[in-house]
C-alpha cells in the first residue's frame, strides 16, 4: 500500500468544479499496484508448490464421489477439492455441476489523460475520487501511467467472455470525456491510452463466496467487478472453504443459495 495524506479537504480545491453534493473524504487511503500484486501472489504460490497453467481452457469437469476430474488445456487433473474463480466464464464452469446463476457480464473501459498540469495530479497531491450517482464515475491520480485515470462504473455494454472485444466504445468514451471536462477540467488533455476489462456481476453486485450446495468440496468465488482490493483476503477465505468447508468470517451475505441469484427477471442494483 502507498499511503496518501492531504493537507486540505478536496471539496474546496479549485480542481474539483461542480462537486457540490455531499462529500466524504478519507485521508488514510492508498493504492495497490495491481500488476506487481498479481505477480507477487503468483510468485508466492509457486514458492509454496503451486503449478500455474496459462491458456488452458477447461473443457470438462467430472465428479465421482469425493474425486473431481478436470480436463483443461489437453491435460487431465484429479483432485478432492476444487475452487472455481473464473469471472466471466463462471456459468460455463458451473454448468458442469448442473448450476446456472444470474450474472451480467459487461465490457468496461478506462482512459488515461496527459494533463497539462501533471503536478496537480501526482500521487501525493491528488486523491482517488468517486462520483456516486447515476451515472457513476471515478478516477485515480497518475499511477502506472503519466497522467490521471477516469472511468464510468458499470458504463459498458453487456457481452460474454467469448464475444467481448478489446475495442473502446465511442459512446462510453464520450460520457467520461464530457464528465472530465465539466468536473475536472485541468485534468483533461490528450489521451494517453484506453483499456478494457470485464465485470461479472450478480444482480445485487455482492460477491459470491461459498461452496456448491450439492458439492461441498467445490468452492466458488465471483468478484462482482470490485474484488481486486480484497484479493489476499479472498484467497485466504477460499482456501478455508476448500480445506475446512467453512471460513473464519461470516460469509452469509455472499452465499451461493441466496434467492436473487436464481430469481426470474431480478432487479439489478449495480451501484456500490
Nearest to 79 by CA among 60, 55, 58, 63: 63
Q: What is the pTM of this model?
A: 0.91
List b or e across 153-166, with b for residues whose CB sees 16 or more CB atoms inside 10 angstroms: bbbbeebeeeebee
Cis peptide before 135 (omega within 30 of 0): yes
Write down the pLDDT at residue 18: 73
Q: What are the grid coordinates assigned to 224, written together?
A: 462482482
Q: What are the grid coordinates assigned to 135, written together?
A: 451515472
Write down the pLDDT at residue 22: 62
* CB-CB neighbours of 22 under 10 Å: 7
Q: What are the grid coordinates assigned to 149, written together?
A: 485515470
Nearest to 123 by CA among 98, 108, 140, 111: 140
Q: Which residues contact 64 (CB under 8 A, 6 or more apart)?
A: none
Give me the DSSP letters along 168-230. PPHHHHHHHHHHHHHH-GGG--SEEEEEEEEEEE-TT---EEEEETTEEEEEEEE-TT--GGG
Q: Please give the class, per CATH, of domain 36-103+204-261.
A: alpha beta
pLDDT digits (tens, 9 = 90+) for 46-73: 999 999 999 999 999 999 999 999 999 9
CA 12 to each of CA 4, 9, 16, 20: distance values in angstroms, whole numbers, following the listed order:
18, 6, 8, 10
Mean per-residue pLDDT of the chain: 92
Write down the pLDDT at residue 101: 99
Flag residues of the chain having pLDDT under 50.
Answer: 1-12
Write down the pLDDT at residue 21: 62
The domain limits of the chain are 2-31+104-201, 36-103+204-261
Helix, coil or strand: residue 30? strand
Write down the pLDDT at residue 56: 97
CATH architecture of 2-31+104-201: 2-Layer Sandwich (3.30)
227 neighbors 234 (Cβ within 8 angstroms): yes
Amino acid at each position: 500500500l502507498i499511503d496518501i495524506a492531504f493537507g486540505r479537504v478536496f471539496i474546496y480545491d479549485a480542481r474539483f468544479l461542480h462537486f457540490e453534493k455531499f462529500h466524504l473524504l478519507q485521508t488514510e487511503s492508498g493504492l495497490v499496484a495491481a500488476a506487481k500484486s498479481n505477480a507477487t501472489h503468483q510468485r508466492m504460490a509457486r514458492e509454496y508448490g503451486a503449478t500455474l497453467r496459462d491458456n488452458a481452457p477447461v473443457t470438462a469437469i467430472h465428479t465421482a464421489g469425493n474425486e473431481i476430474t478436470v480436463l483443461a488445456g489437453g491435460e487431465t487433473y484429479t483432485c478432492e477439492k476444487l475452487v472455481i474463480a473464473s469471472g466471466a466464464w463462471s456459468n460455463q464452469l458451473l454448468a458442469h455441476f448442473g448450476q446456472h446463476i444470474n450474472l451480467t457480464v459487461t465490457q468496461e473501459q478506462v482512459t488515461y489523460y496527459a494533463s497539462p498540469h501533471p503536478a496537480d495530479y501526482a500521487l501525493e497531491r491528488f486523491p482517488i475520487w468517486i462520483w456516486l450517482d447515476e451515472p457513476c464515475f471515478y478516477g485515480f491520480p497518475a499511477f502506472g501511467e503519466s497522467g490521471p485515470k477516469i472511468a464510468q462504473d458499470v458504463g459498458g455494454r453487456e457481452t460474454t467472455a467469448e464475444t467481448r472485444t478489446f475495442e473502446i466504445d465511442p459512446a462510453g468514451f464520450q460520457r467520461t470525456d464530457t464528465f472530465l471536462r465539466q468536473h475536472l477540467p485541468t485534468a483533461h488533455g490528450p489521451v494517453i491510452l484506453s483499456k478494457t476489462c470485464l465485470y461479472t456481476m450478480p444482480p445485487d453486485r455482492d460477491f459470491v463466496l461459498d461452496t456448491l450446495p450439492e458439492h461441498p468440496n467445490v468452492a466458488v468465488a465471483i468478484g462482482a467487478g470490485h474484488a481486486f482490493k480484497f484479493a489476499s483476503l479472498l484467497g485466504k477465505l477460499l482456501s478455508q472453504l476448500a480445506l475446512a468447508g467453512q471460513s473464519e468470517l461470516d460469509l452469509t451475505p455472499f452465499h451461493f443459495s441466496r434467492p436473487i441469484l436464481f430469481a426470474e427477471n431480478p432487479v439489478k442494483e449495480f451501484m456500490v
